[in-house]
Amino acid sequence: MLYELAPAKEITGGPWYTDQEFDHEFVEALRSFILQVVCAQGTADLPTISQRVKRSGISTVDLAEEELEMVLCTLIYDGKLEQVDGMDGAATTTQLYRAAVPTSAATSVTEVPCGVCPLVSQCREGGVISPTSCEYMTKWLELADVPASGAELSW
């Protein structure tokens, strides 16, 4: 390779690699910083995030917006950020990023024992299997009266 030429990103791995090794710590620090920027501002566009990263000195190399967009995508895939459409001063649509609203894996169907019971199709009032004689339903109803303490039932 000639001295005055810079190697292609495809060869070096770009800013995400140090000595041919993926730099997990740098990527995680960058992800954390970007998440803090977006959360502090409520919403932020890519140019704003890019300016904040450059001013922070978190990276020793100049990161292009395309490279920062890769990091933003990982935050979106991990459910930490979401992309929304916004309007800029020229009344054109721009992509904004904001903190994602945390969602619970539990739903009203899965929290009630019937939602996960393998015998729900045979369950009926007056039958051998019924809601009034169900031990799991009884335990669940007892828990509804007690403040959440982190205890879990073993169904």
Tokens of residue 2, six digits: 């000639």
Q: Which CATH architecture has domain 9-99?
A: Orthogonal Bundle (1.10)
Distance CA 117, CA 119 (A): 5
Indicate if the pLDDT at residue 136 is higher than 60: yes
The pLDDT tens digits of the residues spanning 63-121 come to: 999 999 999 999 999 999 999 988 766 667 789 999 998 766 655 556 777 877 878 88
User: Closest by alpha carbon to 48, among 113, 95, 102, 112?
Assistant: 95
The residue ranking higher by pLDDT, 79 or 150, is 79
What does the pLDDT look like over 12-30, one tens digit per residue? Answer: 557 888 877 888 999 999 9
- Residue 149 scores a pLDDT above 50: no
Which residues in the chain are classed under CATH 1.10.10.10? 9-99
